[in-house]
Amino acid sequence: MATAAANPPRVRRLIARLLSAIIIVAAGGAAVAVTREYYHYPRTDDAYVRANLVGIAPHVSGPIVTLPIVDNQHVRRGEMLFVVDPRPYQAALERATANLDLTNLQIKALENAIAAAHAERSRRAADLAYNRQYLERIKPLLDQRFVTANDVFDARARVSAAEAAVDNAESEAERAQNELGQLGDINARRKAAEAALEDARLNVNYCYVRAPFDGYVTNLNIAVGQYANEGHQVVALVDNRAWYVLANFREDFIGSIKPGMTAEVFLLAYPGHRFRGRVQGVGWALYQPNGATVEGLPQVEPTLNWVRLSQRFPVRIMLDDRDPERPFRMGATAVVTIQGFRSRDDR
């Protein structure tokens, strides 16, 4: 009876130990499974929606005379953003147009001058030929005393003068040709005037600044009358063509993240709605203040060797889903889970 009475506690202890072993093994298995899942599908809530922010600057300077947009407005490609006063540039365009017309008249006059110079050269060449012939004809007459030495001297002088006249006519023709500026099939004078006209026409067109892509106007702080400087930003546009998430993952997750992997994205602005994305790439560098140079000397921060914090590298995830009812906003907080490759094509 005593042995039978002692058996129940022993059985209970055996069952308790067996249950404890099962729980420990299950907890260990669960921990291994959770750890494997944790690293196989990395997740982070240190992520933010981003888009390219493009500053729009005019190519010309002047006061803004038209501003049809308002802050936070959606604009389409080609839509007017603002207008710089075009009147000075329109005047320059008209001046360049007149200069081209005048250049064409000058070219015509130079062509006529070249033709006249060639005609004068031909006339001078004919005079030279006649004077040479005359000299050759009277030189034998000097021995026979039909002409005097002075006559021969005058004939030689006329030949020399005719040669100089021919050379001068050739120089005048060459000078007129150079002034014409004709290089092969291209006239340099006309080309320069046409280039100036095109530049003036471009400046007039530059006065009308249009959206280069679909986007959102943001942080608009200008008004009509403000002076716009060439090359200085006037309007900032959020590029609506491509949205992405920059997710900062711990460096021990980086080995599990590859370009082309599918990502699951949740935004705090739209609870319960899932967006899909694809890993575009993983960042290759981080700024490290420790080791930077200060006044030519290396800066080394004091650290405790047993405290090692994991670095976080940015992973760019291009968002595939676009929901008109749930537009993306730059800077919105996101939660990202990497789902891996969905197919062999993704790899």
When mean pLDDT is compared over 21-35, 44-58, 94-108, 129-143, the highest value belongs to: 44-58
Indicate whether 1 pLDDT > 50: no
In this predicted model, which residue has the larger pLDDT, 81 or 175? 81
- Going by pLDDT thresholds of 50, 70 and 90, the confidence category of residue 32 is low
Confidence at residue 140, expressed as pLDDT on a 0 to 100 scale: 73
The crossing angle, in degrees rounded to 10, of helices 149-180 and 87-143 is 160
Q: For the residues of 266-294, what is the DSSP string, one character each?
A: EETTSTT-EEEEEEEEE------STT-EE
C-alpha neighbours within 13 Å on the C-beta side of residue 68: 11
Residues 40-92 pLDDT 10s: 789 999 999 999 999 999 999 999 999 999 999 999 999 999 999 999 999 99
Cβ 259 vs Cβ 282: under 8 Å? yes
* Both tokens assigned to 140: 């034998």
Residue 153 has pLDDT above 90, yes or no: no
The β-bridge partners of 337 are 43, 264
Confidence band for 94, pLDDT divided at 50, 70 and 90: very high
Please give the pLDDT value at position 40.
78
Contact 53, 237 (CB under 8 A): yes
Runs of H (alpha helix) within 60-187? 87-143, 149-180
Model pTM?
A: 0.70
pLDDT (tens digit per residue) in 177-194: 767 666 667 778 888 899
228 neighbors 58 (Cβ within 8 angstroms): yes
Q: What pLDDT sits at residue 176?
A: 73
Question: 125: burial class by Cβ within 10 Å (0-12, 13-18, 19+)?
Answer: middle
Please check the confidence at residue 343 and state whether its pLDDT lies above 80: no
338 closest CA partner among 268, 282, 258: 258
Are 245 and 262 in contact by the 8 Å Cβ rule? The answer is no
pLDDT at 183: 63
- The predicted-structure confidence for 299-323, as pLDDT tens digits, reads as follows 777 766 666 678 899 999 999 888 8
Round to whole Å and give the CA distance between 61 and 246: 37
So what's the pLDDT on residue 109? 81
Which residues are within 8 A (CB) of 229 and not within 5 positions of it... i.e. 6 or more apart? 58, 61
Cβ(259)–Cβ(226) below 8 Å: no
- Quickly tell me which residue has 């993240």 as its tokens: 257
Sign of the CA dihedral with 177 first, then 181, 184, and 186 last: negative
Range picked from 13-27, 103-117, 152-166, 258-272 for highest mean pLDDT: 258-272
Closest CA to 229 of 343, 81, 60: 60
Range scoring the smallest mean pLDDT among 164-178, 188-202, 332-346? 164-178
Number of H helices, E strands in the chain: 4, 16
Q: What is the per-residue pLDDT for 321?
A: 80
> What is the rounded distance in angstroms from the CA atom of residue 113 to the CA atom of residue 181?
13
Q: Three-state SS for 256?
A: helix
Instruction: Express each pLDDT in 209-266 by its tens digit.
Output: 999 999 999 999 999 999 999 999 999 999 999 999 999 999 988 888 999 999 999 9
Among 84-93, 109-118, 119-128, 139-148, the minimum mean pLDDT is found in 139-148
Whether residue 268 contacts residue 333, with contact meaning beta carbons closer than 8 Å, is answered with yes
Quote the pLDDT of residue 36.
59
Q: Of 2-16, 71-85, 158-172, 244-258, where does mean pLDDT reach its minimum?
A: 2-16
Return the residue matching tokens 């005047």: 91
Report the first-to-last Cα separation within the chain, whole angstroms: 72
| Token pair 């308790």 in the structure block, residue | 16
Kindly state the average pLDDT of the residues 322-347: 84
| The pLDDT value given to residue 31 | 60
User: Two tokens at 68?
Assistant: 């049809």
Q: Are the C-beta atoms of 330 and 53 separated by less than 8 Å?
A: yes
Q: What local confidence, expressed as pLDDT, does residue 293 receive?
A: 72
Between helix 87-143 and helix 188-206 the angle, nearest 10°, is: 180
Residue 19: predicted pLDDT:
74
